[in-house]
Amino acid sequence: MTNIRLHEGGILALIHRQASKLMDTDNMYIALYDEATDTVRFPLAFVDGNRIDVTTTEGWQPRKAGKGRTEEIIRSKQPLFSATKAESEAWYGLPGHEEYVGRPFASWLGVPMMVGDKVLGVIATYHLTRDYVYNRDDREILQAMANQAAIALDNTRLFDDLQERIEELEGLQAVGMALTSESDLEQLLSRVTEKAAEVLEADLATVYLYDRATNEFYLPILVGAKSQPLPSKDGIAARVIEGGELVIAEDSFVHPLLKDSSFIRNRGVKSSAAIPLKYGKEPVGILFINYVREPHRFTDSDKRAIRIFADQAATAINMAGLLYDAKRQLETVQEVVRAVEVHAKLPDYLQSILNLTLGEVGARDGTIQLLDKATNELIIRARAGKLAQKSHEYERIPLSKGITGRAARDKQTAYASNIEQADDYLVYIEGTRSEIAVPMIIGRDQPGDGRLIGVLNVESPVADAFKPYSRGLLERIADQAAVLIQQKIEAEELEARRLAAEVSAGVGMVTAEVAHHVKNLAGIIRTCDKRLSTQLSGLTTQQVEDLNIILQNAQGIMEAADDLFKPYNPEPKAEVSIALILAEALSVIGAQPDIGIQVNLAPDLPRVQVQAQKIQSYIVEILDNAIKFTRRRLKKEGLERGQVEVSGTCVQGSMIELAFTNHGPAIARERWEGIFRLFSADAQGQSEPQSYGLGLWGARTALRLHGGDVYVLESNAHQTTFLMRLPV
């Protein structure tokens, strides 16, 4: 099978090449951290544009984690950025930093590479003499690269771990097959059965494999007979399996378990022994030793030999099964990875993963549900089988509901072998008897149980359909898919921000051109109006009044042209209080005679680094919409006064969320995304003229350029809430 992944060196070289396209990387290094040994090594370093040999160049050999900027990033799990040499010197002058190694550079930028809460290393780039080589946008870009690099490195380690496991199982299988050179399970069991018959001097020896899920026996291995019927589900073999112990019958015709057996009577079996083949407590087959010519007295030595042969057969069955399962899991995981290259779009990739998963576990119905961190809900993003044939009320599932919600909440596989006994089962389709929900987690074994991406959910019309192998395979697929899905999401977010910047710039250029011409035209009208007023005599009062109206309208058009371009004016980012931006937006809105605006902001909200005027203009846009549609409800129901609510919180110390709630008509769910498209109808379904700022499209574009977003959080008959998010 083709190796389609990069190893560590290739990943690190790729990071440097990509970063070099976007920023100065003449001086750059990547450090990897080993938590177990608390050491830092530097597999890649560039000095003055040249890659150096880190094995021989002084200062770049692996070291015990000590005191330095690299170790500070590892400990704090936060980026470190100094735009100027003065800032670097100030950092080294902080209390406790006097002993830190290194020296101040004019520009220095370092970011952590993390998977979940675990730091894998640090990417740093610097310039010795020039200030302001990097800015905060460079920090965001380098952090995004570091995040993807960490996932890629973790991915290579996952493959290595899986390959090591297969090599261990192959070694164990070789030990278990020491009696023979055969590697085929059927041939191996034949040799074990033949050896048992030879050592015990038996006339007939038989091994059957057992499927506990169906309570059926299969793959008969016969010694001393050419054919033999498979045991029934309620016959001797099933009862021996149920008893779980060696059964000895020195007189088969009177033994209570064997005396009524047609096989015993028809074949004339005088003495018999039967023993379950068990690996641990799990039965995997059964071994029969039969004597036809003469009765046999079983000695203690015979009983020990029977148990040894049973253990050998059980171990061989289990090792062969484990080896097969591990190889199949590896092939499936590689198919999951390969699908990334085939399907560029996230929805197509999710559907491919779901279809692959269902095929591997022999199921038809399933979903992939991704976590919406803003609402703490699971959103169905891919579906198959009966679940794909109709829309459903459970499109968005709170983590407090359902088996998938339980899996996401507990970050553990949730298995309902019989959904009639599962109190939290949500009825998606009729006929489901069992369901398994596997959380997709990055860094499952890390402190804090890793980062939840979503849930892989499979349903079956058969009770207890998902055995340990299926559960293990689903967990393996989910873990690998989580890493790749997150890569897709981050790549699409970066692409969305890039496109938003391009579109915003293009619209800004067009808008500026339109505003320029409109303003020129209004200026001409204004000049002509004034000239007519001074040159013409004997004008009537009405004519004078008409000329004044034209003059006022021309002035209004010029001001409107200025307003039209205002959202696209270049504006530097500044660190400001979101409460202050909101207060200024409210002052622009002004007091409304029939609408009250209730504001409830959490105390001590962190400041944000934004283009304040631009963000303010779009808050005004959203508030205008909220007032307009609440007023529409008042008019429809004959009410005198309504209310709009604004609330603000900080989520996990990294994102500020402002919720704007109006009490106007509901927005149909299928339009929640459409209202943010360029030149869409207004926010709640009416085809009215757009505002100068190009409405909600402009708001979303600007917020995404800031690393945030705006979207419909909920909409029903009573209220509609828009959620605006901005990074701290």
Backbone torsions φ then ψ of 334, nearest 5 degrees: -65, -35
The number of residues making up the chain comes to 728
Alpha carbon distances (Å) from 558 to 514, 515, 528, 554, 702 = 12, 8, 15, 6, 25
Report CA 625 to chain centroid distance, whole Å.
33
CA distance 144 to 91: 24
Q: What band does 374 get if pLDDT is binned at 50, 70 and 90?
A: confident
CA distance 481 to 662: 39
- Of residues 306 and 391, more confidently modeled: 306
Alpha carbon distances (Å) from 472 to 312, 325, 413, 506 = 25, 9, 10, 50
Read off the pLDDT of residues 191-206 as tens digits, 9 standing for 90 and up: 888 888 888 889 999 9
Q: What band does 567 get if pLDDT is binned at 50, 70 and 90?
A: low
Read off the pLDDT of residues 622-637 as tens digits, 9 standing for 90 and up: 998 899 999 988 888 8
Q: b/e for 338-362, b at 16 or more Cβ within 10 A? A: ebbeebeebeebbbbbbebbbebbe
Q: Residue 481: left if φ>0, alpha if ψ -120 to 50, beta else—which one?
A: alpha
What residue type is 224 in one-letter code? G
Among all chains, which residue has been given the structure tokens 């003499």?
129
pLDDT at 658 over 90: yes
Residue 63 in tokens = 């070291």
Q: Taking residues 401-406, report their average pLDDT.
A: 90
pLDDT the model gives residue 5: 45
Q: What band does 339 get if pLDDT is binned at 50, 70 and 90?
A: low
For the whole model, what pTM was predicted? 0.43
CA distance 249 to 253: 9
Read off the pLDDT of residues 181-238 as tens digits, 9 standing for 90 and up: 444 677 778 888 888 888 888 999 999 988 876 788 887 888 888 877 888 888 888 8
Q: Taking residues 504-533, report their average pLDDT.
A: 66
Which residues, in sequence order, are bridge partners of residue 150?
none
pLDDT the model gives residue 131: 92
pLDDT the model gives residue 113: 92
CA distance 15 to 12: 5
Read off the pLDDT of residues 71-80 as tens digits, 9 standing for 90 and up: 999 999 999 9
pLDDT the model gives residue 174: 41
Q: What band does 507 get if pLDDT is binned at 50, 70 and 90?
A: low
pLDDT the model gives residue 99: 74
- Extended beta strands in 128-203, E state: none
pLDDT the model gives residue 455: 93
Return the percentage of the chain with pLDDT > 90, whole number: 23
Return the percentage of the chain with pLDDT > 70, whole number: 81
Specify the DSSP class assigned to residue 322.
H
Closest by CA to 319, choosing from 216, 440, 176, 421, is 176
Q: Taking residues 118-138, report their average pLDDT.
A: 92
DSSP string, 476-535: HHHHHHHHHHHHHHHHHHHHHHHHHHHHHHHHHHHHHHHHHHHHHHHHHHHHHHHHHHHH
pLDDT the model gives residue 679: 57
Specify the DSSP class assigned to residue 393.
S
CA atoms lying within 13 Å on the CB side of residue 464: 5
Long-range contacts formed by 325-331: CB under 8 A, 24+ apart: 325/469, 325/472, 325/473, 326/162, 326/165, 326/166, 326/169, 327/166, 328/360, 328/473, 329/162, 329/472, 329/473, 329/476, 330/162, 330/163, 330/166, 331/1
∠404-407-412 over CA atoms, to 5°? 155
C-beta separation of 640 from 593 below 8 A: no
Q: Taking residues 569-586, report their average pLDDT.
A: 84
List CB contacts of 21: < 8 A, sequence separation 6 or more. none
Residue 68 in tokens = 């330095």
Alpha carbon distances (Å) from 302 to 145, 188, 289, 308, 636 = 66, 21, 11, 10, 93
pLDDT at 454 over 60: yes
Radius of gyration for the chain, computed over Cα atoms and rounded to the nearest angstrom: 36
Average pLDDT along the chain: 81
Read off the pLDDT of residues 47-76 as tens digits, 9 standing for 90 and up: 999 999 988 888 888 888 888 889 999 999
- Of residues 452 and 332, more confidently modeled: 452
CA distance 252 to 261: 9
Q: Taking residues 696-717, report their average pLDDT.
A: 82
List CB contacts of 238: < 8 A, sequence separation 6 or more. 215, 231, 232
Q: What band does 274 get if pLDDT is binned at 50, 70 and 90?
A: very high
Q: What band does 104 get if pLDDT is binned at 50, 70 and 90?
A: confident
pLDDT the model gives residue 284: 87
Pairing, β 642-651 against β 595-601? parallel
Q: Residue 102: left if φ>0, alpha if ψ -120 to 50, beta else—which one?
A: left
Read off the pLDDT of residues 462-475 as tens digits, 9 standing for 90 and up: 888 887 767 878 88
Which residues, in sequence order, are bridge partners of residue 379?
370, 396
pLDDT at 112 over 80: yes
Alpha carbon distances (Å) from 317 to 308, 325, 640 = 14, 12, 79
pLDDT the model gives residue 511: 59
Among 28-32, 91-95, 681-685, which stretch is predicted with the lowest mean pLDDT? 681-685
pLDDT at 447 over 60: no
pLDDT at 362 over 90: no
pLDDT at 456 over 90: yes
pLDDT at 115 over 90: no
pLDDT at 514 over 80: no
Alpha carbon distances (Å) from 63 to 36, 58, 322 = 13, 12, 40
- Extended beta strands in 224-375, E state: 247-249, 271-279, 282-291, 365-372
pLDDT at 449 over 70: no
- Of residues 684 and 708, more confidently modeled: 708
Closest by CA to 490, choosing from 724, 145, 727, is 145
Read off the pLDDT of residues 411-439 as tens digits, 9 standing for 90 and up: 999 998 888 888 888 887 788 888 999 99
Q: Taking residues 445-465, report their average pLDDT.
A: 81
pLDDT at 496 over 80: no
Backbone torsions φ then ψ of 410, nearest 5 degrees: -90, -10
H/E stretch holding 334 reads helix 300-342
